Amino acid sequence: MKKAYAIGLAAFLAASPAMAQVVIGGGDNDAARHEQRAQQDRMEAHHDQAEAQRDAAMGNYSGAAREQAEARQEWRDAHHQQRDAERDSSGFHVDIGH
């Protein structure tokens, strides 16, 4: 069985020079850490959005715009962390890139 695995790996490596980069791994198994960070980012986004609404209600429109931009960035960060958590929870991923 080990011989078949070694032959298969050798064949894969022989065919892979046409690809610029192939990374095969099990992930860093930090799904819980990524999920926690995503939750924190979502909470910060809600806080920034509430600040933006308060600023706008008081007539501070530049402050509201700044807070709203921060809220959007926090939502993007949360989405990124959520994708990382989903990838890590799968236990295996293959990245093929150039």
**Into how many domains does the chain fold?**
1
How many Å apart are CA 97 and CA 28, to the nearest integer?
19
Return the pLDDT at 44: 93
Which range (45-54, 64-73, 78-87) has the least confidence?
A: 78-87
Return the pLDDT at 84: 85
pLDDT in tens, 1-32: 667 777 776 666 666 555 555 555 555 567 78
Three-state DSSP at 63 gives: helix
* Residue ranges making up the domain that contains 30: 2-97
Cβ proximity of 70 and 78 under 8 Å = no
Q: State pTM to two decimals.
A: 0.58
Residues 23-45 have a mean pLDDT of 78
**Buried/exposed code over 54-93 (b: 16+ C-beta within 10 A; e: otherwise):** ebeeeeeeeebeebbebbeebbebbeebbebbebbeeeee
